[in-house]
Amino acid sequence: MPIVKYPRAAEPLWHEWDRKAQKCGLRHTLYAVNGDQYTGEWLDNLKHGKGTQVWKRTGAIYSGDWKFGKRDGYGSYSIPDPVTKKYKKVYTGWWKNDKKCGYGETFYAGGERYEGEWNSGMRSGWGRMYYRDGSIYEGQWLEDQPSGQGMLRLSNENRYEGGWKDGKKHGPGKFFYLDKGQLFEGVWVADIPKCGLLIDFGRDEAPAPPQYPIPKV
């Protein structure tokens, strides 16, 4: 009985090309269609391991750890200065699922700086913020705002210690007017003191005390 041989279906060439294009391990610089470029390690055709990404549109650079195509682990993110064209760091720290997560340090425009904990790309946990006007907040954060217990020290050394909510003084707290030698202890609601007690505190050492001391009750 004659044997009938059917012609074997030829595999499309693009299947072979696709297999050869699959990226795994360390690769030299690869360019995307939009001009972005990546140099580093791959796994299953995804950025995975150590690598550096450059975005053409903004000129930004990320150098650090990747996990299945996303920034995950420790790394730094920098952008070019619009005037000098030199790179300046924006964030250095930990990432998870392509967002800031864990401990890290961020540099803002105008010289402001935050160092502390992050969650899903927002300041959350403990952190310290250095503001442009010279004041410093140190304490708890939630969803990018001071929330919980914290201390705000102003540039003239006056300071507030107590509760915060949504970035405002809220709850029991103390405000030290060191320039006047006074202390206010009371309760705040949305940055406004509602009730409390004002007493002299270090009046003799204060640089600008009021003319008359507060009478004792």
In a domain, 54, yes or no: yes
- Condensed to tens digits (0 to 9), the pLDDT of residues 67-120 reads 999 999 999 999 998 888 899 999 999 999 999 999 999 999 889 999 999 999
- Of the pLDDT bands very low, low, confident and very high (cuts 50, 70, 90), residue 149 is very high
Which contiguous run of DSSP H or E holds residue 18?
Answer: helix 13-21
Residue 139 shares a structural domain with residue 186: yes
Q: Which of the two residues, 10 and 113, has the higher pLDDT score? A: 113
Question: Distance between CA 201 and CA 123 in Å, rounded?
Answer: 34
| Span 13-65, pLDDT tens digits | 645 655 555 666 666 788 888 999 999 999 888 999 999 999 999 999 999 99
Q: Assess whether 212 and 120 both reside in one domain.
A: yes
Q: Can you give the pLDDT at residue 79?
A: 96
What domain count does the chain have?
Answer: 2
Pick from 71, 101, 131: which residue ends a domain? Answer: 101
161 in any annotated domain = yes
Residue 65 CA to residue 51 CA, distance in Å, equals 6
> Are 50 and 78 in a shared domain?
yes
pLDDT over 50 at 174, yes or no: yes
pLDDT bucket at 148, cuts 50 / 70 / 90: very high
Whether 112 and 207 map to the same domain: the answer is yes
Structural domain range at position 34: 20-101
CATH label of the domain that carries residue 178? 2.20.110.10
Residues paired with residue 150 on neighbouring β-strands, in sequence order:
139, 162
- Looking at residue 14, its pLDDT comes to 47
> 141 and 193 share a domain?
yes
173: nearest Cα among 156, 149, 155: 149
pLDDT tens-place string over residues 121-135 = 999 999 999 999 999
Give residue 72's pLDDT.
97
Domain boundary among 66, 85, 101: 101
